[in-house]
Amino acid sequence: MASAQWNGGKAKSTAQAKAWMRHNSKDERIAANHSNTDIDKSRTPLNWSYRGLSYKARCAAYDKRLSEIDMGKPGTGKNARTVLQSVCVYSPAALRGDLPRLRDWFQRVGELAEAQFGAANVIDMAVDVDEVHDYADEDTGEQRTAAEHGHLWLVPEKDGKLNGKEFSCRAAIVAFNDRLQYMTEREFGCVWNDGTKKKRRGTVEQLKRNSLRAEVEQLEEVRDTILTDAMEQATEITTEAQRDARATRREADDYAYKARRTANRHAVDITNKAEADAQEIREAAELDAQAMREQAEQDAQAMREQVAAMRRERDEAQADRDAAHQDAQEWANKAYRLKQGCDKLQTARKATRAALQGDLETWAGLTPRPSANALLGVLGAAVEASRAKSTMSPGVGSAYARMMGMMRDQDERRRDAHQDGLGLG
């Protein structure tokens, strides 16, 4: 029988919903080992999905849709809210094994689901072709082949709120089945729902065992999903932390780079300012040094001029001293000659007096080289003096006086002649 199986498709928690999505994810199914031995992993790569989403992409789309609607109160037990409606859609018997036509048929199933339930509420539909296997009918023992089927995941939203009861009411189920039947007959020329009912398979104990086995499988899938989600969440947290760390490192590196650039700019500015200040100081120092050199040159020139003037004064003083010394020497010589002349004159005066007194011996001693002419001259003078008349008493006195006068006249003439010889006249 081909039909849409709604029973047992109400997920009461997001963990259960994601466990179903994980179980029917092609990548996850290839990587994992399932307790369902009817899964042929060699055919798993042939599986596909309506939207072509991965397990993570389905979970992301599912979480996003739940965040957009009113979730209502959680509830517990039978009153727990339905957060996902899973519908198992079996393929028509006439299309089984024809994968190209099955792709087209399941594509139309997804489009009809979007038209009835809203595109935003259709998370995805995973089509499994790896569970096709032969089995013995429990009632008749006949060999049957399991059909390709699609797991259609719907968010039970009505008017912006979660409403599983209204979403999956009988009228909605019948309407969806009728649309699939009409589409299959018109577009594919075959029957989808042949009207037969699924017979009861086995005893009550067998049904309980099957139910328990299915429940165990679901719990295992939920467990695996929780563990996987936890690991993925931890990985995401680690990745996010690593991204944050890298971002922090980049920010730190960028800050350090900017700090270095700022420090370098400040260093360059400080260096340029220091060089400019140093240049100004050098220029000012050069100007001061030039002024000091000019002033020193002027002072040196003035000092040289003063030294030259002092040297000239010294030379002039030396010349004056030499001239004065020469003059003093000349004056000393003149004084010496004058003294000699005076001494000679004094000696001559004494000699003359001795001669006038008739003391020829004294005269001869005072005269260096008495000659006959000198002697005659003295005698003649004495005679001449004795002959002259005088008012004075007769005798030697009058002669003496006249002779003294003559000697004075003679001394004056000699002194004048001597002075003329010395240059004093």
Q: Which domains does the chain have, with CATH numbers?
A: 4-199 (3.30.930.30), 342-422 (no CATH)
Query: Which DSSP letter does residue 119 get?
Result: G
Please give the pLDDT value at position 65.
95
- Digit-coded pLDDT (tens) for 372-383: 666 666 667 666
Q: Quick one: tokens of 254?
A: 């960028």
pTM to 2 decimal places: 0.49
Q: 248 pLDDT exceeds 80?
A: no
Share of the chain above pLDDT 90, in %: 29
- φ and ψ at 131, to 5 degrees? -105, 15
pLDDT at residue 386, as a whole number: 63
The rounded radius of gyration (Å) of the Cα atoms in the chain is: 79
Q: What is the pLDDT of residue 283?
A: 85
* pLDDT average, residue stretch 169-188: 95
CA distance 285 to 263: 31
Residue-level pLDDT at 209: 52
Query: In this predicted structure, what is the pLDDT of residue 142?
Result: 72
pLDDT bracket for residue 416 (50, 70, 90): confident
- Whole-number pLDDT of residue 335: 80
- Cα separations in angstroms, 335 against 75, 151, 415, 416, 423: 160, 163, 13, 15, 12
How far is the C-alpha of 74 from the C-alpha of 63, rounded, in Å? 16
Q: Do 147 and 132 contact (CB within 8 A), yes or no?
A: yes
Higher pLDDT, 383 or 1: 383
Name which of 63-77, 148-162, 273-287 the model is least confident about: 273-287
Alpha carbons 24 and 216: distance in angstroms, whole number: 17
Q: Residue 207 above 70 pLDDT?
A: no
For residue 255, what pLDDT band results from cuts at 50, 70 and 90?
Answer: confident
* pLDDT at 382 (0 to 100): 64
pLDDT at 233 over 90: no
Residue 136: phi and psi, rounded to 5, are -95, 130
Cα dihedral sign, 271-272-273-275: positive
At 117 the pLDDT is 96
Average pLDDT over residues 379-394: 58
Quickly state the pLDDT bin for 330 (edges 50, 70, 90).
confident
Return d(Cα 134, Cα 138) in angstroms, integer.
13
The stretch 169-174 carries a mean pLDDT of: 93
Tell me which of 43 and 274 has the higher pLDDT.
43
Of the candidates 202, 216, 217, 38, which has an alpha carbon nearest to the alpha carbon of residue 135? 38
> What's the pLDDT at 222?
55
d(CA 117, CA 28): 28
pLDDT winner (highest mean) among 203-207, 315-319, 403-407:
315-319
Mean pLDDT for the stretch of residues 64-79: 84
Query: 333-350 pLDDT, tens per residue?
Result: 888 888 887 887 788 778
User: What's the CA gap between 80 and 4, in Å, rounded?
Assistant: 24
* Range 62-75 average pLDDT: 88
Q: How far apart are the first and last CA of the chain?
A: 184
| Six token digits for residue 105 | 């048929």
Q: What is the mean pLDDT of residues 29-52?
A: 80
**pLDDT reported for residue 51:** 96
pLDDT score for 180: 96
Give the tokens for residue 166: 């209204």
Look over the chain and give the mean of its residue pLDDT values, rounded to a whole number: 79
User: Which pLDDT value is given to residue 36?
Assistant: 67
Q: What percent of the chain has pLDDT over 70?
A: 76
- Compare 370 and 4 and report the one with higher pLDDT: 4
